[in-house]
Each structure stands twice: as structure tokens, then as C-alpha cells.
Structure 1
């Protein structure tokens, strides 16, 4: 019962705070004595703080405000991607306290070697966080592949199959697909909309469907493999064994061509380079075709483009909107809203950290050891 009540109080502060103890008692239906005891435990654990004063209604006297604390409890978000490793530390108020990215070539790599480099990054970030007075409660890792439980089933671009990532990382760590965690990053650190389709552009193209604030993963965790929706049945061969998949038109390799980075591509686009503009046009058309299938199947009201599609949005938007409008005009009239993620390449690592924050709020007694 105490564990449940701790969760009720922390969730109320998370959702509606800052609140006085009296306000918490009224909101939760718990007695003032019980609320005071629970707030005391959460204060000791560093999950909340008391400061300032707020008024309990128009007639109530000002009281001390209970709010989430960003000073002691934190979560660690990690990401292994094709061309980088990333880590970020987020405190309980969802403020990003540290963010580190290390360029790397992880294609066809040895999982043990890559995860050793990630362990080194974790040690560096953890030491810096602890120096700032933060205690990292847990970690989650985003990977560019399909995940079942704690098992990474298949990450084709990495060349990894059936890897128990947390065991090699030597760190208690939740593991999830990069696009799913990027969608959660958009939910918790972006627009805050509860229902949308998030499209993640990287070496591959993935998607995360958020319904009523929850990611839909499918039976085997394969939901959202947008990159292998067929755009042109007789198109170029794809690494999946099919032909004409979205990825061969709108994945990072297809967009870059002979260019060395997305930043270089953006510069070329801004300068009006014809080859770069044509590549973006093809990618936008293909993305619009694939999203049309997603709209017919899922009927999202909002589509958010993230990853490399965020900096390329000014050059992709027109062709994506045009393809959607042309194909949806007869069925639904108005295409879904199309937006760009403000999180860019950080979406997945933010979502990973946010996953741990949600677990703390949902069950502080277990996660914080209260």
C-alpha cells in the first residue's frame, strides 16, 4: 500500500505540481498525515524538493510547494547507431544535464568492441554526473534493430544478430528499437501530442506509432519498419532482399551519394546543387508514397519527421506533402498534419533517458529503493 501511495503522490507532483502537502492530500484523497510521511520519504530520496510558496485555492493560506527535484536523481540514455555512439543524462524534471556523442563506424562491427567503447563513454558521463551531485538510477539503450525483451534480434546495418546487449554492456539496461525510443523522445521532449506517427531517418528508415501516449510495438516488436515498405516494385535491390523499398530512396546513403555528411548535404542544398536537390526530391516523393500506405493503414492525425529528415525538412516538405495530397485526396480529403521534430538526432537518446524517468515516476518505491 505504501509503495502504491508513493507512486500516487509522485505522479500527482509530476502531472500537476508544484503542490502543497495539503493540495496533494486533497488531490489524491490521502490523509494529510500520510501525505507528509510520503513527501518526507521522497524528499530524502531526492525525488522532490520543497521551496517557495503556493496558495491552496482562493481562500487557503500560502504553503510550501512540493515539486520534482532536478538536483539528485537522474537517468542515463544511450544509443548505438551506425555512425556514432551517444549518451545523455536527464534529471527528474526532464532537463538534459549532459549530452555526449562520439563519431564511429559501426557497420559490420563486433558487438563486444562497440559496447566496450560505449562502456567507456558511460564511465565518463557517469563520473561527470556524479561530480554534479546526480545519482543515475537506471539506463536505457536505443539500437537500430528489432528487439524482443532484452534480446537484440537483428540489426542489419550493424551486422548484429541475437545479441544480449545488456550482458555485453555489463550494466543493468533496458534495450529498445531506436525509432520507438525516438517516438517517445518526441512525446516527452517534443510537442507533447499523445497520438502521432514518428518517422526516423537514419541509415535506415524506421517509424514509431504513438497511440494515447504509448508506443505500439506489434506482436514481435517489428511494428514501424517503414523503410521496407515497397515504393517501386521493380526498383533497386534493397539489403532486405526486396526491391524498391523506401530505404533505397530515402535512407541516408541514398541521400548523401558521394557527400560525406548530412551537414555537407544541407550546405549543397542551400547552394542550389542540382544533384542534391534531385536526391531530396526523389526521397520526398518516395517518403510520401510510403506514408500514404501508413495513413491508409493507421490513420494518424499527425506525422513527425525526425532524424536526418529534420535538417532536410525544408527541401523534403513540398514533395512529401504533394505525394500525400495526390494520393489521399479521394479517400480523406485532408492529409494528416506534417511536422518536423525539434529533437533531431537526439530524439532516441532522449527517449531512452525518458523511459527511465517514467519508471521512476510510476514506481518510486521499487526504483529508488524506498
Structure 2
């Protein structure tokens, strides 16, 4: 019961703070004595801090407000992607306290050396914030992640890699890092740190093309955690072979390897314009099926699609308008991601922070 009440009080502070103890008692329905005791525990854990607040027009001594504290507890986000490794530390208020990215060619790699390099990067990043207590770590990988293994990360060359093989080398707060799909975490990063609404489909345009669906502020992972493989939706029957074993997948038409650069598009290069149009039409085709099935409130294009958005979006919108016009008043709004290339690593940290806010007693 006390653990639940700690989460209740901390949730109110996180969602509507700063708040006085009296306001917290009114919002939670708990007694003022209970709230004072719970706030004392949260203060001791470094999750909240106090700041005096004079209330104009009120009698007696002014109340003391309680707010989230970013000075003690933080989370570590990690990412392995095809062309880089990334790490960041985000405190409880959502402020990024440290961030490092290193270029690396991780195609057709073995997990062991990649994780060794990531561990070094994590140590260097944590050394930048020695005063913070790291509550946990989450690792983003570009592949399908089940309960106990990464089933397939085709662009890394990883198949059936046990989660424990990935997490045991990277332990934080005496617990292994959790592992999650990159696109799912990017969607969470956009939700927590971007400007997306609470219902949207996030599309991650990297070497592979993944998607994460956010519904009412929560991430939908599917029955086995394998939802969101938009890149393997077939957009051209009998098209080019894909690493997944099928043919004509979206990745072959709109993945990073076939996308033009923004400089070429800005210079009106005809070849770049044709490649962008081809990618936009294929993406629009896959998204029209996703919209019919999932009915998202908005579509957010992330990763490499962000710098290409001014040229790519008109082609995507044209296909969505054409294919969805008869079924709904208008297609979902199409937006560029606000978090850019940091979406997944920020989302990885956000997943830890969500756990802390939901269960502050788990910090011990």
C-alpha cells in the first residue's frame, strides 16, 4: 500500500507540480499526515525537492511546494545502430545531462565487440555525471525483440541473440540493462521529449524502416513484442529481395541506403528528386495500409526522414490522400519528428524514468 501511495504522490508532482502537501492531500485523497510522511520518503530518495512558495491572499505561513528533483536520480539510455553507438543520461525532470555518440560500422557484426565498445561509451558518459544516481539502463537495437532474445536484427547480422548476452556486460544499479526495439523507443522518445500528440504512429527511417504505435500515451508492442515492422510491408509484388527473405518490402524503396541526401535535393538534382519521389510513394503506400488498420491520430516521420521531410512529405501525402480519401474526412496529419536522431536513445532513458515514476519504491 505504501509503495502504491508513493507512486500516487510522485505521479501528481510529476504531472502537475510543484504542489504543496495540502494540495497533494486534496488531489490524492490521502490525509495530510500520510502525505507528509510520503513526501519525506521521496525527499530522502532524492526524487523531489522543496521550494518555498508564498501564496498571495492566503492566511498564515505560506505553503512549501514539492517539485521533481533533477539533482540526484537519472537514467541511462543506450543505442546500437548500424552506423553508430549512442549513450545519454537524462535526469528525473527530463533534462539531458550527458550525451555521447560515436560513429561505428556495425553491419554484419558480432555482438561481443559491439557491446564492449558500447560499455566503454557508457562508462565515459557516466563519468560526465558522477553525482547522479543511475536508476537503470535500457538498450535500443534495430531488430525484433522478444521476451528473451533479439530474434533478428538483419542490418547488424544478429539472429537469435539472447537478451542476457546483451545485457550482462552492461549492468547499472546492480541490474542488467533492458533491451527494446529501436523504433518503439524512438516513439517513446518523441512522446516524452518531442511535440507529438498522445496518439500517433512513429516511423523510424534508418537503414531499416520500423514503426512504433503510441495510443493514449502508452506504447503498443503487440502480443509478443514484435509489432511495428513496417519496413517489411510489401509495397511491390515481386520487387527487390529483402534481408528478411521476402521481396518488394518497403525498406528496399525507402530505407536509408536508397534515400538521396538533402543537399542533392536542395540543388534540384533530377536523380535525387526521382529517388525521393519513389521513396515517398512507397512509404505512402505502406502507411495507407497502416492507417486503415490502426487509425493513428498522426504520423510522425523520424530518423533520416526528418532532413528529407520538405521533399518527401508531399509524395507521402499525395498517396495518403488518394488511398484514404473515401474512408475518412482527411488522412492523419503528417509531422517531422522533433527529437531527430536522438529519439531512440532518449526513449531508452525515458523508459527507465517511467519505471521510477510508476514505482519509486523500487529504488530501494
The TM-score bracket by the shorter chain reads over 0.9
Query: Residues 286-297 of structure 1 correspond to what in structure 2 (within 5 A)?
Result: 286-297=282-293
TM-score, with normalisation over the residues of structure 2?
Answer: 0.95
**Structure 2 counterpart SS, 1:85:** strand
- Number of equivalences: 358
Question: Residues 358 and 56 (structure 1 numbering): CA distance in 2 closer, same or farther, change over 3 Å?
Answer: farther
Distance 2:170 2:96 in 1: 23
TM-score, with normalisation over the residues of structure 1?
Answer: 0.93
Q: Is the 8 A contact 2:205 2:302 kept in 1?
A: yes
Tell me the CA shift for residue 241 of structure 1.
Answer: 1.8
**Structure 1 counterpart SS, 2:178:** strand
Residue in structure 2 matched with residue 166 of structure 1 by the alignment: 167
Question: Residues 158 and 60 (structure 1 numbering): CA distance in 2 closer, same or farther, change over 3 Å?
Answer: farther
Q: Is the 8 A contact 1:54 1:65 kept in 2?
A: no
Distance 1:4 1:306 in 2: 36
1:146 aligned to 144, 155, 173, which one?
Answer: 144
Distance 1:97 1:69 in 2: 13
Distance 1:7 1:51 in 2: 21
Q: Is the 8 A contact 2:146 2:226 kept in 1?
A: no
Distance 1:129 1:282 in 2: 45
Question: Residues 28 and 255 (structure 1 numbering): CA distance in 2 closer, same or farther, change over 3 Å?
Answer: same
Distance 1:202 1:146 in 2: 15
Matched, 1:306 2:287: no
Distance 1:58 1:341 in 2: 44
Question: Residues 70 and 54 (structure 1 numbering): CA distance in 2 closer, same or farther, change over 3 Å?
Answer: farther
Question: Residues 59 and 182 (structure 1 numbering): CA distance in 2 closer, same or farther, change over 3 Å?
Answer: farther
Moved more, 166-175 or 5-14: 166-175
Q: Which runs of 5+ in 1 are unaligned?
A: 257-264
Residue in structure 1 matched with residue 350 of structure 2 by the alignment: 354
Tell me the CA shift for residue 84 of structure 1.
Answer: 0.4
Q: Is the 8 A contact 1:77 1:88 kept in 2?
A: yes
Tell me the CA shift for residue 275 of structure 1.
Answer: 1.6
Moved more, 224-233 or 274-283: 274-283
**Structure 1 counterpart SS, 2:93:** coil
Question: Residues 51 and 296 (structure 1 numbering): CA distance in 2 closer, same or farther, change over 3 Å?
Answer: same
Residue in structure 2 matched with residue 124 of structure 1 by the alignment: 124
**Structure 2 counterpart SS, 1:107:** coil
Runs of 4+ in 1 over 4 A off after TM superposition: 56-61
Query: Residues 39-78 of structure 1 correspond to what in structure 2 (within 5 A)?
Result: 39-53=39-53, 55=55, 62-78=62-78
Distance 1:160 1:71 in 2: 38
